[in-house]
Amino acid sequence: MAEWLNTLLQGLLLGGLYSLFATGLALSFGVMRMINIAHGDFAILAAFVAIAVVEPLGLNPFVVLLLIVPLMGGFGYLLQRLILNRTLGQDILPPLLVTFGFGIIIQNLLLVMFSADTRSLDIGALGTASVALGGDVAVGVLPLIVMAVAVAVLAGLQWLFAATPLGRAFRAASDDSEAAQLMGIDNRHIYALAMAIAMAIVAIAGVFLAIRANIAPTDGPARLLYAFEAVIIGGLGSLWGTLAGGIILGVAQAIGLKADPGWGILAGHLAFLAVLVIRPNGLFARTRER
Amino acid sequence: MSASTPIVERGTRASRVGLLLAALLLLAAIAAPWWAERSSQRLFTEFLYTLALAQMWNLLAGYGGLLSVGQQGFVGLGGYCLVVLGLQAGLNPFFIVPLAGVVAALVAIPAAAVLFRLRGAYFAVGTWVVAEVLRLLVANTASVGGGSGTSITRTVSGIPAWWRESTTLWLALTLGAGATLAVYFLLRSRYGLALTAVRDSEPAAESLGISVARVKWFAYLASAAGCGMAGALIFITKLRIAPEAAFSMDWTATMFFVVIIGGIGTIEGPIVGTLIFFLLREFLSDYGSGYLIVLGTVAVAFMLWLPRGVWGLLASRFDLHFFPVQRRLRNQALKEEK
């Protein structure tokens, strides 16, 4: 019994990490109506940059976030402003194909620079510390921190969208980009800012991933798929839905993994397909696709 | 003013020259086992199955507007047909190639039922999930070799080497030329018109009485079948199969490079793209991963600045159409006045 409770808790907290991955994806879809196929690859890129900085300088991985997050944010702004904005339009293929190309470039760039070996970020004792909850049930401190960060990021985004002029501009550009432009909103800038925020969150997700697990240069696509599944399970346009989606995915994977080591990821995919069959719009859908 | 009926033209001078050229090339390729070296035969085979894959992806993305990043799922499935139908059921590997197409299409039916609930960009990522599900199912099935894969040499061991190599080439030719011609004739038919109409505007197509769902469904199944057949053939040439290689993203990445660089939404594009792809590979293969970085960069650059690819550029500049699928109006009266 305690064993299963532990599994459930692990899956639930894993959902925090998945939600971090999913939030950036949901944001870029929500505002620009585009999917960044290289989303996961950018997370892995951020993680490898963190590893490259931490190892020679001996920094704490949490400190390195202060460097990586603004770096990836700025990179995201430029990426959207200089390249991805050119691909937006009626046709949905160009942004997909361009980001797909970026994914291939990033994976192979990382392979050249870091080889195919798996790497990770070491945070010492914190990595294995856990809090006992009575009985044989315990939760890891690190997964708890990740979950807290995920909740904080979502709360921050909700505040941004609901209460700030920038959030209003995001919503306006999302609802009707032409009307927004008529009202004096510079869509190119707004889109670039949205991508900057998405990339900043992706950087957090990537660094946490590298703290939790070993990563390899070609891990990006799998991360994109989990993020995507969390977004769809949660429902398009629902911020907190991505957290719910992440948790459902995490729990499904944890249960599958417990049943058979080979079935963990598969169970997550199957849960996603099941939701798609039962509730095609996800559990908490708010926006409709145009 | 003389009332003149414009003439509808479907062919061009280039298309007639092209047809002749294509027929000659085809004959030369069929005869390759008698005049070409073994290494060049292998290269032809590879060229042709790459072309077949690219045509199938182009059918989906370029004509159907359905972006799939999960076609590797059907390539892998086709490859694994060799294990189940060849190693285990003892069928001749070359008979398995068409069967693999059937298997892939059958698997595509439930996949389509789920995936078509997703639209546009979401469909794309959904196809990837399906490919991953197929990969994980195969990797978790011990009887087909599990995660480490298996050798399929035994399926071809009874066939003399010359026949094996030649039949492989002829099958590759059937797939490469067949895929090209199939797309060509499909697009000249009313179904092709429906397909491109759906790509250009779903609501408009629907309002003209086209069943958008059925057209997409058909394109998806056809593409799956093509990729499945190519997959079986590919692994006849490789003789060893493992989930990582069979369901590798590289298959779809290759289709993507070829079609984008050659020219998406044209039949000539994949042919030109495959040529460029093999040339680039010849020059850059020593650089390993660097080669893929270059290819990725080239494809992104094309997408940004030359979205219609090399062939799109040539076709619009020189009005060149070897495989014309459009109808052109020529006004007889106007011509006579001049």
A184 and B CB contact within 8 Å: no
pLDDT at residue B233 above 90? yes
Q: Is A224 on the interface with B (CB under 8 A)?
A: yes
Does residue B234 carry a pLDDT above 80? yes
pLDDT of A290 reads 41
Q: What is the mean pLDDT of residues B219-238?
A: 94
**Average pLDDT, consecutive stretches of 10 residues, N- to C-terminus, chain A (290 residues):** 85 92 90 89 94 84 89 94 87 86 93 87 78 80 92 93 88 81 84 94 94 90 91 84 92 90 88 87 64
Q: Is the Cβ pair A269, B133 closer than 8 Å?
A: yes
A37 and B125 in contact by Cβ < 8 A? Answer: yes
**Residue B8, strand partner residues:** B329
Q: How confident is the model at residue B331 (pLDDT cuts 50, 70, 90)?
A: low
Q: Which two tokens stand for residue B256?
A: 């993507």
Record the tokens describing residue A23, joined without a space. Answer: 């939030």
Q: Is residue B287 part of a domain?
A: no
Residue B74 placed within a domain: yes
Q: How far is CA A86 from the centre of its chain?
A: 24
Identify the band that residue B75 occupies on the pLDDT scale cut at 50, 70 and 90.
very high
What does the pLDDT look like over B21-38, one tens digit per residue?
888 888 888 888 888 788
Whole-model pTM? 0.87
**Which residue stretches of B82-160 are H helix?**
93-115, 120-139, 153-156
Pairs of residues, one from chain A and one from chain B, whose beta carbons lie less than 8 Å apart: 119
Are A269 and B139 a contacting pair at CB < 8 A?
A: no
Tell whether the model's pLDDT for residue B333 goes beyond 70. no
The string of pLDDT tens digits covering residues B182-211 is 888 888 888 878 887 877 777 888 888 777
pLDDT of residue A79: 93
Residue B109's pLDDT is what? 95
Which residues 229-268 of A have a C-beta within 8 angstroms of B? 229, 232, 260, 262-263, 265-266
Give the residue among A114, A108, A79 at the shortest CA–CA distance from A95: A79
B313 in any annotated domain: no
Q: Is residue B314 part of a domain?
A: no
- Residue-level pLDDT at B37: 83
High-pLDDT (> 90) share of chain B, %: 34
Q: Is residue B330 part of a domain?
A: no
Residue B328 reports pLDDT greater than 60: yes
- Is the CB of residue B144 less than 8 Å from the CB of residue A58? no
Question: Which tens digit of pLDDT belongs to each residue from B111-131?
Answer: 999 898 887 778 888 999 999
Task: Count up the domains in chain B and report the number.
Answer: 1
Query: Domain span at residue B137?
Result: 38-248
Find the length of chain A.
Answer: 290
- Tens of pLDDT along B213-224? 788 888 999 999
Residue with tokens 């690190």, as numbered in its chain: A142
Specify the pLDDT at position B337: 45
Please list, residue by residue across B288-324, b when 16 or more beta carbons sit within 10 angstroms of its beta carbon and e when fewer do: ebebbbbbbebbbebbbeebbbbbbebbeeeebbbbb
- Inside any domain, residue B162: yes
Domain assignment present for B150: yes
Cβ-Cβ contacts under 8 Å, A260 against chain B? 140
In this prediction, residues B153-175 reach a mean pLDDT of 86
Give residue B93's pLDDT. 87
What is the model's pLDDT at position B1? 46
Cβ neighbours of A222 in B, within 8 Å: 132
Supply the pLDDT for residue B136: 93
pLDDT digits over B44-70, tens only?
999 999 999 999 999 998 888 888 999
Q: Which residues of A touch B138 (CB under 8 A)?
A: none
In a domain, B118, yes or no: yes
pLDDT mean over B244-248: 92
For the range B5-11, what are the long-range contacts, defined as Cβ-Cβ under 8 Å and sequence gap of 24 or more?
A: B5/B332, B6/B329, B6/B330, B6/B331, B6/B332, B7/B329, B7/B330, B7/B331, B7/B332, B8/B327, B8/B328, B8/B329, B9/B327, B9/B328, B9/B329, B9/B330, B10/B188, B10/B324, B10/B327, B10/B328, B11/B324
Inform me whether the pLDDT recorded for B212 exceeds 50: yes
What does pLDDT average to over chain B?
85
Q: Does residue B73 surpass a pLDDT of 80?
A: yes
